[in-house]
């Protein structure tokens, strides 16, 4: 793994019904049933991952873990990583400090009860964070976070205590020992594939999505040695016919490249953290760490 030219982390946000209830605030059984398709999708995806001998990362809200404990056990038993993904796909910033802490604890308890694991990774629902989230994740011992977009194909360390306003210079806080596994909407299936009236056009042709994702992979493979290519997928979206076939083709394409490995975000983050001690990384990356900044 250490000599891989590019690592691929195939990640699934197994939201089930939670995203429609939590993020969309839906009270509509039809809309909520779209999440139920996730239960059909997961076994299909587990078979696909097995065929390619891929270990993936599944981010699972507690709401989904309690609804589908047997599926979550199967994900674990297939050797995939489970990551924290909130309670019912809520925005952590919608809570006060106590509420955010409570939701984080509920998520840890659910994964412990259902799967007997303590996750090392966190991905926030809809990639929303509160200004407190990074400190909380450190307090609870997480090694990595995967909701920020400050790099494309390399991880970086997050900061605690950043402050901003409309009339002051940006204040960089202190770089802390929490690895960011960066994401981007450009490598997420939800915007291009999932139709949501008034919000997402979705329904894009697989050929178009496939072209976009292959181009990003090609860039990462050519220019980002030792980096990581992270795809964010949703079982209820990517496992439907046309998109499932697209995913099969993409995995075969990625796998056809020499020195490409597939691994979980947890494995990559732990290895990267060991190879990039915090203090040395800050010295080598002053703009990412904010140590070059001027505050008038
Ligand atoms: Zn999600």
Q: Which domains does the chain have, with CATH numbers?
A: 6-289 (3.20.20.370)
Distance between CA atoms of residues 96 and 99, nearest Å: 5
* 66 close to 114: Cβ distance less than 8 angstroms: yes
Q: How far is the CA of 188 from the centre of ligand 1 (A)?
A: 11
Q: How far is the CA of 41 from the centre of ligand 1 (A)?
A: 15
Distance between CA atoms of residues 5 and 19, nearest Å: 35
Q: How far is the CA of 296 from the centre of ligand 1 (A)?
A: 40
Q: How far is the CA of 89 from the centre of ligand 1 (A)?
A: 6
Q: How far is the CA of 85 from the centre of ligand 1 (A)?
A: 7
* 126 close to 91: Cβ distance less than 8 angstroms: yes
Distance between CA atoms of residues 55 and 53, nearest Å: 7
Q: How far is the CA of 125 from the centre of ligand 1 (A)?
A: 5
Q: How far is the CA of 222 from the centre of ligand 1 (A)?
A: 30
Q: How far is the CA of 148 from the centre of ligand 1 (A)?
A: 14
* 244 close to 238: Cβ distance less than 8 angstroms: yes
Residue 3: the pLDDT is 67
Q: How far is the CA of 61 from the centre of ligand 1 (A)?
A: 8
Q: How far is the CA of 177 from the centre of ligand 1 (A)?
A: 24
Q: How far is the CA of 14 from the centre of ligand 1 (A)?
A: 7
If DSSP states are collapsed to H, E and C, what string results for the chain? CCCCCEEEEEEEECCCCHHHHHHCCCCCHHHHHHHHHHHHHHHHHHHHHHHCCCCCEEEECHHHHHHCHHHHHHHHHCCCEEEECCCCCCCHHHCCHHHHHHHHHHHHHHHHHHHCCCCCEECCHHHCCCCCHHHHHHHCCCCEECCCCCCCCCCEEEEECCECCCCCCCECCEEEEEEECCCCHHHECHHHHCCECCCECCCCCHHHHHHHHHHHHHHHHHHCCCEEEEEEECHHHHCCHHHHHHHHHHHHHHHCCCCEEECCHHHHHHHHHHHCCHHHHHHHCHHHHCCCCCCC
Q: How far is the CA of 245 from the centre of ligand 1 (A)?
A: 22
User: What pTM, to 2 d.p., does this model score?
Assistant: 0.97
The candidate with the shortest Cα–Cα distance to 221, out of 54, 9, 5, 11, is 5
- Taking 50 as the pLDDT cut, the residues of the chain under it are none
Q: How far is the CA of 292 from the centre of ligand 1 (A)?
A: 35
Q: How far is the CA of 274 from the centre of ligand 1 (A)?
A: 28
The C-alpha angle 62, 68, 73, rounded to 5 degrees, equals 90
Residue 296: the pLDDT is 78
């Amino acid at each position: 793994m250490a000599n891989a030219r590019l690592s691929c982390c195939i990640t699934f946000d197994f939201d089930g019904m939670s995203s429609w209830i939590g993020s969309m605030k839906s009270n509509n059984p039809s809309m909520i049933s779209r999440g139920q398709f996730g239960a059909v999708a997961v076994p299909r995806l587990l078979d696909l991952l097995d065929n390619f001998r891929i270990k993936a990362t599944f981010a699972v809200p507690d709401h989904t873990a309690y609804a589908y404990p047997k599926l979550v056990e199967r994900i674990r038993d297939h050797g995939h990583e489970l990551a924290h993904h909130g309670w019912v796909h809520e925005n952590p910033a919608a809570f006060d400090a106590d509420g955010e802490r409570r939701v984080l604890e509920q998520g840890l308890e659910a994964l412990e009860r259902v799967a007997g694991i303590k996750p090392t990774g966190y991905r926030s629902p809809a990639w929303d964070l509160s200004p407190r989230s990074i400190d909380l994740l450190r307090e609870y011992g997480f090694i990595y976070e995967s909701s920020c977009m400050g790099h494309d194909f390399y991880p970086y360390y997050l900061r605690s205590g950043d402050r901003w306003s409309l009339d002051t210079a940006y204040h960089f806080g202190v770089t802390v020992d929490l690895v960011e596994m960066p994401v981007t909407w450009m490598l997420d299936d939800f915007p291009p594939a999932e139709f949501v009236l008034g919000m997402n056009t979705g329904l894009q042709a697989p050929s178009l999505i496939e072209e976009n994702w292959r181009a990003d992979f090609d860039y990462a493979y050519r220019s980002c040695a030792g980096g990581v290519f992270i795809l964010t997928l949703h079982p209820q979206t990517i496992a439907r016919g046309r998109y499932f076939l697209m995913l099969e083709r993409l995995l075969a394409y990625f796998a056809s490249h020499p020195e490409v490995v597939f691994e979980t975000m947890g494995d990559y983050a732990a290895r990267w953290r060991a190879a990039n001690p915090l203090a040395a990384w800050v010295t080598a990356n002053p703009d990412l760490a904010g140590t070059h900044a001027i505050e008038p």
